[in-house]
Amino acid sequence: MQKFTSVQDVANIDELVNEALHLKQNPYKYKQLGENKTLGLIFLNPSLRTRLSTQKAALNLGMNVMVMNLDKEGWALETQEGAIMNGTTVEHIKEAAAVMGEYCDILGIRSFPKLQNRDEDYNEELLQQFIDYAGIPIVSLESATRHPLQSLADLVTITEKKPAGKKPKVVLTWAPHVKPIPQCVANSFAEWMGQANVELVITHPKGYDLAEEFTQNATVTTNQDEALKDADFVYVKNWSSYIDYGKVLTEGEGWMMNNEKLALTNNAKVMHCLPVRRNVELSDEILDGSNSLVLQQANNRTYAAQAVLKRILETL
Ligand code: CP
């Protein structure tokens, strides 16, 4: 694997899931693989899970890890080609990414969308510039449009928990939130589930359709109750509008997942990538109950990252 920015970078997702499950049983088996190799983790946005699980994954593989909150600790980055840098930006990404490439063997980068200009965000300009200028393999720690390490961990979790001998019904349901949230997790989850052996249904209020490139293998409905019928897994997530880009179109009354809605399902396992707004997106009763898989998902982030780093290390 030369980079990990979307499901398209994975030749066989079943093999990668099995690799993650194998690493979960044998976390230190490949401790020699990362010896004298350095992972750089660059954050332009906050993180708890991605930061700690990816560090742990790298340490399990014997790697050195350097972490930088570039938005707070680095020089203000210029990303425009040909910019006359007589304003507030101090360092061009051409040098910054290339310097990081000198210090590291693999580079992870987190950069959320600004949610102001859809074309700018969906062109993944910053991620592409890191790929172009760093000169080393890049791992997305969540980009403007996708969160592939999360989606891989989610697929690992579904693989572990799915009912035996059945293609599981997986429902991705929109949930309310207090502010505009990127589409990344929902896009990525839809994209990965579209390649997995599951029946995928996406439900959201009118106006919240995701970009078609991510939902090609899904049934999409605005009737949440209908969608939830017989579900084996319910993945709860808010996202802002893609069509009316970055806007919140409704407060989403009645869309929060709770035990009443859970009763419509096949005793579904409930998933969320975290952080979650309790009693806005998901009720306490679900998060504190036995159907919640949120901690298992978070735990599997380590082995998802470890599988990806192992695959990349094997190519160095
Ligand atoms: N799910 C997830 O990516 O969590 P963090 O934002 O805390 O990394």
Task: Give the tens place of pLDDT for each residue, 174-196.
Answer: 999 999 999 999 999 999 999 99
For residues 164 and 27, membership in a common domain is answered with no
Say if ligand 1 is within 6 A of residue 41 CB.
no
Looking at the domain assignment, is residue 1 inside a domain? no
CA-CA distance, 238 to 268, in Å (whole number)? 19
Residue with tokens 């600004």: 114
For residues 242 and 253, membership in a common domain is answered with yes
Q: How far is the CA of 263 from the centre of ligand 1 (A)?
A: 29
Q: What pairing do the DSSP bridges indicate for beta strands 199-203 and 64-69?
A: unpaired
Say if ligand 1 is within 6 A of residue 146 CB.
no
- Residue 127's pLDDT is 97
CA-CA distance, 135 to 103, in Å (whole number)? 11
Numbered residues of the known binding site: 47-50, 75, 110, 142, 147-150, 177, 237, 273-274, 277, 301
For residues 291 and 304, membership in a common domain is answered with no
Confidence of residue 210 (pLDDT cuts 50, 70, 90): very high
For residues 164 and 126, membership in a common domain is answered with no
Say if ligand 1 is within 6 A of residue 48 CB.
yes
The 10s digit of each residue's pLDDT in 122-161 is: 999 999 999 999 999 999 999 999 999 999 999 999 999 9
Give me the percent of the chain exceeding a pLDDT of 90. 100
For residues 247 and 119, membership in a common domain is answered with no
Q: How far is the CA of 61 from the centre of ligand 1 (A)?
A: 21
Looking at the domain assignment, is residue 237 inside a domain? yes
Looking at the structure of the chain, the number of domains it has is 2
Give me the percent of the chain exceeding a pLDDT of 70. 100
For residues 160 and 287, membership in a common domain is answered with yes
Tokens of 214: 């991510």
- Residue 191's pLDDT is 98
Numbered residues of the known binding site for carbamoyl phosphate: 47-50, 75, 110, 147-150, 273-274, 301
Q: Using most ligand atoms within 8 A of CB, pick from 56, 273, 299 the residue to mutate for ligand 1.
A: 273
Give SS3 for 129: helix
Collect all residues with Cβ–Cβ distance below 8 Å to 135 and sequence separation of at least 6. Answer: 98, 101
Q: Using most ligand atoms within 8 A of CB, pick from 44, 45, 49 the residue to mutate for ligand 1.
A: 49
* Contact in structure between 168 and 233 (CB atoms under 8 Å): yes
Q: What pairing do the DSSP bridges indicate for beta strands 106-110 and 38-43?
A: parallel
Looking at the domain assignment, is residue 93 inside a domain? yes
217 dihedral zone (left: phi>0; alpha: psi -120 to 50; beta): alpha
Could you identify the atom of ligand 1 that is nearest to the CA of residue 147? 3
> Which domain range does residue 62 map to?
7-146+300-313
Collect all residues with Cβ–Cβ distance below 8 Å to 283 and sequence separation of at least 6. Answer: 256, 257, 258, 259
Looking at the domain assignment, is residue 2 inside a domain? no
The 10s digit of each residue's pLDDT in 151-178 is: 999 999 999 999 999 999 999 999 999 9
CATH number at residue 118: 3.40.50.1370
Say if ligand 1 is within 6 A of residue 273 CB.
yes
Mean pLDDT, rounded, of the chain:
98
For residues 155 and 135, membership in a common domain is answered with no
**Residue nearest to ligand 1 atom 6, measured at CA:** 47
Confidence of residue 4 (pLDDT cuts 50, 70, 90): very high
Give SS3 for 270: strand
